[in-house]
Amino acid sequence: MNKNLVDTSTIRGWGADANADNDPTFPIRHREARETDGLTWTRPTQQDVDIEILQSIEHNRRPAVIGTSTPPSGLSGMIRRYAFRRSESDWLHWLLLMGADRLNVVEGVIEDLGKGHVPNIPAEMGARAEWKHNKRGLVTKAAVLAGLTTATILVLSARRSKDEAKPGDADMLALSAPEE
């Protein structure tokens, strides 16, 4: 840990913007110039939109320009539509949107596969950079993943074997055998 007390005389531009009048309420400094309250400004031209736009219920009119990226679709879109019935102040509004985002990831993979594209998830996650700059980390992660996968498979196989060997099942078989 280095302590480096800096000599301000060596800093180019030191104090260039020092201003004792720096109003702590800036930039709300032009409030007094307002003639009227509310949505009274001269509005820009309204953009025509031919896709579905979800709008905050806290707006009483649509803003003049609109982003047109990725309109809502699928099940995640249905959740988003429901979320937008609630205000920005409602926690559920945001939690529903987060839920929709997660579902949308699955929809994205299905969409890729539907187009005949198998997503290269390691590449999308930057595995090449990890390999180049953090080989040990990548190997550790791969080992942990492999270990967890193996453990899961072993646990599931053991449970299946146990289920197959249940005495109840054997008794049922034994009971049913004489009837045949």
Partner 1 sequence: MLAMNYRGPYRVRVDEKPMPALLHPEDAIVRVTRSCICGSDLHLYHGMVPDTRVGTTFGHEFCGIVEQVGPEVRNLKPGDHVLVPFNIACGKCEFCQQGLFGNCHESNAQATAVGGIFGYSHTAGGYDGGQAQYVRVPYADVGPMVIPDWMDPDDAVLLTDVVPTGYQAAEMGGIRPGDTVVVFGAGPVGLMAARSAWLFGAGRVIVIDHIEYRLDFARTYCPAEVYNFREIDDMVVFLKKQTDSLGADVCIDAVGGDAAGNALQTLVGTKLKLEAGNAIALHWAINSVKKGGVVSIVGVYGPTGNIIPIGNVVNKGITLRANQASVKRLLPRLVEHIREGRIDPKAMITHRVPLADIADAYHLFSAKLDGCIKPVLLPNGA
Q: Residue from 78, 85, 133, 153 that binds partner 1 (CB under 8 A)?
A: 133
By CB under 8 A, what part of segment 53-72 binds partner 1? 53-56, 58-59, 62-70, 72
State in angstroms the smallest separation of the CB of 148 from partner 1: 17
Reported residue count of the chain is 180
Q: Which is nearer to partner 1, 15 or 167 (CB)?
A: 15
Encode 20-41: b = buried (16+ Cβ within 10 Å), e = exposed: eeeeeeeeeeeeeeeeeeeeee
Determine whether 100 is exposed, middle or buried from the number of CB atoms within 10 Å of its CB (0-12, 13-18, 19+): buried
State in angstroms the smallest separation of the CB of 176 from partner 1: 50
Q: Does 125 bind partner 1 (CB under 8 A)?
A: yes
Q: Does 130 bind partner 1 (CB under 8 A)?
A: yes
Q: Does 162 bind partner 1 (CB under 8 A)?
A: no
Q: Does 108 bind partner 1 (CB under 8 A)?
A: yes
Q: Residue from 75, 78, 113, 119 that binds partner 1 (CB under 8 A)?
A: 119
- How far apart are the C-alpha atoms of 34 and 141, rounded to whole Å? 59
Beta-carbon-side half-sphere exposure of residue 62 (alpha carbons within 13 Å): 13
Question: Any idea which residue has 């031919």 for tokens?
Answer: 50
Q: Does 136 bind partner 1 (CB under 8 A)?
A: no
Q: Residue from 75, 78, 85, 101 that binds partner 1 (CB under 8 A)?
A: 101
Tokens standing for residue 91: 């926690």
